[in-house]
Amino acid sequence: MNFKNIFRWHLPFLMLLGLLSFRAVAADNLLIIGDSLSAVYRLPVAESWPTLLNNKWQKEGDKPTIINASISGDTAEQGLARLQTLLEQHHPRWVLIELGANDGLRGFPPQTISQTLTQIISQIKQANAQPLLMQIRLPPNYGRRYGDAFYAIYPALAKQENIPLVPFFMEQVAVKPEWMQDDGLHPALAAQSFIAGWMSEKLTPLLTH
């Protein structure tokens, strides 16, 4: 038996198996693409809710690694502009979309925001990843009519695209003044541990293979 010939003929198959195995490991990530609510504005990264959640999940095992690609100030359009590079770099299995708040704060038309989020969802699906869309709500001082139209974007998209809608953690945080920074928009350090635990509870059932 010529083992050299056997190895030569099976080498492409073995290389393919190795590549698939590598991709399976590399793909077991949860990518967060968001704004300052996930980039944790003015707080240490090490004490942010994405970092705390990742630490919790790594201790538990059998959970994805969290890659937090959020940038403070990002609009949905800015998130879309850098999404493809992130998908190619990290090969995530899931992508949590936490975008739109800055669009709403700037008064962008709801239809425009919806169209951009639809493009983000489509691009994630094309990369064979599972989009997870977070509901966003604007502060009440932006007007009820616009606020309601903005809020309605998210459940409509989740239904249209048949993807999970993740509840908005700020609705749990904003009711406690001691959990808010002095700008009235961003969670304080004291809220980060709560958000990590709350997000773990909401996300874990969605992390199906």
- Residue of 48, 70, 114, 186 with catalytic role: 186
- Residue of 62, 182, 183, 209 with catalytic role: 183
Residue 35 annotated as catalytic = no
Both tokens of 171, joined, read 């609705």
Residues constituting the chain: 209
Nearest to 108 by CA among 84, 77, 68, 66: 77
Residue 36 annotated as catalytic = yes
Four-residue CA torsion sign, 164, 154, 124, 91: negative
3-state SS assignment for residue 195 = helix
Q: How far is 32 from 29, CA to CA, in rounded Å?
A: 10
- Output the CA–CA distances (angstroms, integers) from residue 114 to 3, 45, 86, 163, 197, in the order listed: 59, 30, 21, 14, 29
Phi, psi angles (nearest 5°) of residue 72? -60, 135
Nearest to 69 by CA among 78, 57, 59: 78
- Residue of 36, 38, 48, 114 with catalytic role: 36
Residue 186 annotated as catalytic = yes
| Residues designated as active site | 36, 183, 186
